[in-house]
Amino acid sequence: MSVFRKFKLPQLLRKGPPASEIGEDIPRFKCSELPLKQRLGQGSFGDVYTAEYRASGDTKCHTVVVKKMLQVLDQEEKKLFYKEVRLLNDLQHPNIVQLKGVSFQPLAMMLEYIYFDFKLFGHDDLRAHSLADFLLQIDEFNCEGLCELLNHAAKEVIDGLAYLHSKGVAHRDLKPANILTSNQHYCTLSDDNEIS
């Protein structure tokens, strides 16, 4: 009950129209030079793919997510895209997906790749990217501790929302398909490590 006392709705502020340019501090990448792999989803503004990316000076490729926008976006839709990029660039929280870069030709943003890996449960090829995927997959298993896991997930969603609200941001489309799931930080733990 104490978690809900701290929770406050953000104050909605009216700001001027977003600038059509993105600040110089946001890293750039060339989406046209990036081989897109698995398609994770499709929305009204574009498609979401995984890709392998190697930053300059990095010796290792990393799997990332690329949100590639439709090429038929009008000026208002482009302004919304630029606003989202600037907003994501300013947010730094463990429960908010991190922006890695932006591309202008074609218009796209690169994000960290988040997923729940079922390898720990003996299913090597099974991953859930969203809470909606996770809930569908978990129905197939008889998992002990599911109630505690869902309580932990709810707390992390609340922590992420509280952070957004502290920054004056309202999510406006919170649903299981838009809540990313991850256990990647647990996958590297040995049996000697404790999970808190």
Site of tokens 């720990």: 120
CA dist 78 and 81 (Å) reads 5
Q: Is 173 a catalytic residue?
A: yes
Closest CA to 156 of 97, 88, 113: 97
Site of tokens 């449960």: 121
Classify 53 as helix, strand or coil. Answer: strand
Q: Which residue out of 125, 173, 191, 192 is catalytically annotated?
A: 173
Closest CA to 70 of 59, 58, 61, 80: 80
- Chain centroid to CA 40: how far? 12
Q: Which residues contact 35 (CB under 8 A, 6 or more apart)?
A: 51, 52
| Contact criterion met (CB below 8 Å) for 129 and 191 | no
- Give me the count of residues in the chain: 196
Catalytic residue positions, numbered: 173
